[in-house]
Amino acid sequence: MDHKELEDRILLKELVDTISILGDKKDFKNQVQFFSENALSETIFQGKTILKLEGRKTMASTFAKFLGEIDTVYHFNGQHLVTINGDTARGTCYCLITLIGNENGKKMMNRIGAIYEDDYIRIDNHWFIAKRVGTFDWQEKNEVNQ
């Protein structure tokens, strides 16, 4: 692995982690700036597409609406494998998502095991996500005991 490929791998991991951190902070306006202008984002749960979005503006407003009622959003990114081909790349990232919010008067925690399949593109020497397919493999919901 040469120096440039190593640098690109670090930048791509940083890209994925930055998107997660901004999502946790509910800073969707800045989060979507790490996607290409007309990026596609698709979410699959139990084999069915539950969300399909195109473009930064649509993503920002939908993410805000979907997570607006959630008190705590927490992404924990794990394995991240990438294949780089010049100014494009493909990657797989495993993620544990924790959402805590009120549901029917109870504080509930929803944990989701997700796998993100990303297509990356380098534009003006910066990496962006051009397409993200998030597959929610499993979820676990429990009441939070305080």
In this predicted model, what pLDDT tens digit does every residue of 74-115 receive, in sequence order? 999 999 999 999 999 999 999 999 999 999 989 999 999 999
Q: Which of 85, 82, 91, 101 is nearest to 142 (CA)?
A: 101
CB 116 within 8 A of CB 132: yes
Percent share of the chain, pLDDT over 70: 99
Place of tokens 């394995």: 79
Residue 57 has pLDDT above 70, yes or no: yes
Report pLDDT for 143.
Answer: 95
Q: What are phi and psi of 33, to 5 degrees?
A: -70, -15
Name the pLDDT band for 1 (thresholds 50, 70, 90): confident
Residue 29 has pLDDT above 90, yes or no: yes
Cα 126 to Cα 33, 40, 104, 110, 112: the distances in Å are: 11, 18, 44, 34, 30
Report pLDDT for 146.
Answer: 65
Residue 125 has pLDDT above 80, yes or no: yes
Residue 66 has pLDDT above 90, yes or no: no
Q: What is the CA radius of gyration of the chain?
A: 16
Alpha carbon distance 13, 117 (integer Å): 13
Residue 47 has pLDDT above 90, yes or no: yes
Residue 69 has pLDDT above 90, yes or no: no
Alpha carbon distance 141, 99 (integer Å): 9
What is the token pair recorded at 97? 């998502």
Q: What's the one-letter identity of residue 140?
A: E
At residue 47's C-alpha, the angle toward residues 54 and 76, to 5°, is 70
Percent share of the chain, pLDDT over 90: 92
